[in-house]
Amino acid sequence: MGCYQDTDAPLVSVIIPAYNAERFIARTLESVLNQTYQNIEVLVVDDGSSDRTPEIVHHFAEIDARIILFHQSNAGVAAARNLAIQHAKGEFIAPLDADDIWYPTNLEKQVQCLAQADASVGLVYSWSTDINEADQVMDGFHAAKIEGNVFTTLLCHNFIANASATLIRRSCLEKVGGYNCQLRELDAQGCEDWDLYLRIAEAYQFRAVPEFLVGYRKVLSSMSRNYATMARSHALMLKFVQERKLEIPKAIFRLSSSSFYLYLARQSRQQSCYKGTLFWLARTLQVDFITPVFRYGFYSLFFESLLRLVVKEFSALIGPKNHYWLKLKQWKNLILLKLETSDAKSHTVDIQIKLLVGNILHRSMPVLVRGYKA
């Protein structure tokens, strides 16, 4: 598909906060410059980096005048994004993290979707797929067709999933405000994008671009691996919502916490942190005892993590060459093979089924809220 060069096309301001992002910032910028939609400006905010991030961005800016580099002392991702928004000239704002990438038609299709919608639609989002450090696609993906008034559904589950998948009307940000810097001040970074989405959803409708157009990078050093900070961030986000929306039943907030802790358990499992997995599973049950028991993922995470920890402790106790250890290891490998096979099948379930389940949940939320109020 060729470049989108309509002379009447609205200007899109791409905003990129960058802190010590030298490993990936070049790939991120290349993915922006390779967009088929070309009427863009790219505002990169160096958030007090101590590596080569400013130098790399400056090199790109010398080649392409659409790239503008700003500097600030380290103040966090929310302040960096807000600084970029203050200087942005575009009708639409497109946030992008400094380690994520866009596939070539992302902006073109998002702009078409948002430009064709009426003023009640304030945000559109694309689907994203997890990628590794070499840009290779991983098993994880994030897809939903949840549209319209999405506030309650979004409160329970961040179906957008990351900060790089949206295009937002600038007028929305002028109405609801920018990213919340208070989370950083309270040592609770991590949910700034989710917090903003919720405030937009209170006043505007959402639309989906049902294609995988965003690469969401999973790296060990990313802030999203600081699970305790993420949990504090989520709790504060819920607190802010409760203060604004007193009419929402407390059970909805418990459901949100339970789902988020289960997400942290899955992330801990990906990092082979099995004690952490069990800790977050316990937190899941602590805030909502009912919902987790109906989720297959809860059981697979629990039994796998428990088994791996038991085998590890048993090995340390009797030695790795002991006859009983070898038998236990064989038993463990057999069980884990069955669990992994089941997980693989769950990953390959048709996307349409996942979308159907998501839409059913979205449509049932008003009924659920009324039921909790009764």
Q: Tell me whether residue 135 is in a domain.
A: yes
pLDDT of 337-359, one tens digit each? 554 554 444 444 556 666 776 77
Number of domains in the chain: 2
| pLDDT for 347 | 47
Q: Does residue 335 share a domain with residue 256?
A: yes
Q: Which long-range contacts (CB under 8 A, 24 or more apart) does 258-266 make?
A: 258/284, 258/287, 258/288, 258/291, 258/292, 259/156, 259/157, 259/291, 260/231, 260/234, 261/231, 261/287, 262/292, 262/295, 262/297, 262/298, 262/301, 264/227, 264/230, 264/231, 265/301, 266/297, 266/301
Mean pLDDT for the stretch of residues 150-155: 96
Q: For 95, phi and psi rounded to 5 degrees? A: -70, 145
Helix (H, G, I), strand (E, B) or coil at 103: coil
In a shared domain, residues 205 and 263: no
What single DSSP character describes residue 181? T
Q: Are residues 125 and 274 in the same domain?
A: no
Tell me: do 266 and 357 sit in the same domain: yes
pLDDT of residue 346: 46
Among 3-17, 190-204, 250-264, which range has the highest average pLDDT? 190-204
From 196, 229, 262, give the residue that closes a domain. 229
Retrieve residue 4's tokens. 């989108």
Record the pTM. Answer: 0.86
Residue 3 within any structural domain of the chain = no
Domain boundary (168, 201, 229) is at 229
The answer to the question of residue 95 being in a domain is yes
pLDDT of residue 342: 46
What does the pLDDT read at residue 289? 85
Residue 26 belongs to domain with CATH number: 3.90.550.10
Q: Are residues 44 and 165 in the same domain?
A: yes
Residues 344 and 353: their CA atoms lie apart, in Å, by 16
What is the tens place of the pLDDT at every residue in 15-67? Answer: 999 999 999 999 999 999 999 999 999 999 999 999 999 999 999 999 999 99
Residue 92 within any structural domain of the chain: yes
Q: Locate all alpha helices (DSSP H) within 178-226, ordered by sequence.
A: 182-185, 192-203
Tell me what the pLDDT averaged over the chain comes to: 87
Which one of 229, 258, 288 terminates a domain? 229
The pLDDT confidence band at residue 4, using thresholds 50, 70 and 90, is low
Angle at 109 between CA 107 and CA 112, to 5 degrees: 105
Closest to 256 measured CA to CA, from 232, 287, 279: 287
Q: What gap in Å lies between CA 43 and CA 87, rounded to an integer?
A: 8
169 in any annotated domain: yes
- Is 116 a member of any domain? yes
Q: How confident is the model at residue 225 (pLDDT cuts 50, 70, 90)?
A: low
Residue 239 lies in a domain: no
Query: Residue 346: how many CA atoms within 13 Å on its side-chain side?
Result: 11
Q: Are 146 and 66 in contact (CB under 8 A)?
A: no
Long-range CB contact pairs, 239-247, < 8 A, 24+: 240/180, 240/195, 241/155, 241/198, 244/202, 245/202, 247/373
Do 86 and 201 lie in one domain? The reply is yes
Tell whether 150 and 107 lie within a shared domain: yes
Looking at the fold, whether 105 and 160 belong to one and the same domain comes out as yes
Same domain, 225 and 285: no
Phi first, then psi, for residue 249 (nearest 5°) are: -60, 145
In a domain, 75, yes or no: yes
Quick: pLDDT tens for 165-207. Answer: 999 999 999 999 999 999 999 999 999 999 999 999 999 999 9
| Boundaries of domain holding 310 | 249-373
* Domain match, 106 and 200 both: yes
Q: Are both 118 and 206 inside the same structural domain?
A: yes
> Within its chain, how far is the Cα of 299 from the centroid?
24
- pLDDT tens for 128-146 read 999 999 999 987 889 999 9
The reported pLDDT for the residue numbered 113 is: 98
Please state whether beta strands 40-47 and 12-18 pair in parallel, antiparallel, or not at all (unpaired).
parallel
Question: Hey, is 139 helix, strand or coil?
Answer: strand
- Per DSSP, 132 falls in state -
Same domain, 81 and 188: yes
7-11, 101-105, 290-294 — most confident range? 101-105
pLDDT at 319: 52
Amino acid at 209: V
Are the C-beta atoms of residues 16 and 83 closer than 8 Å to each other?
no
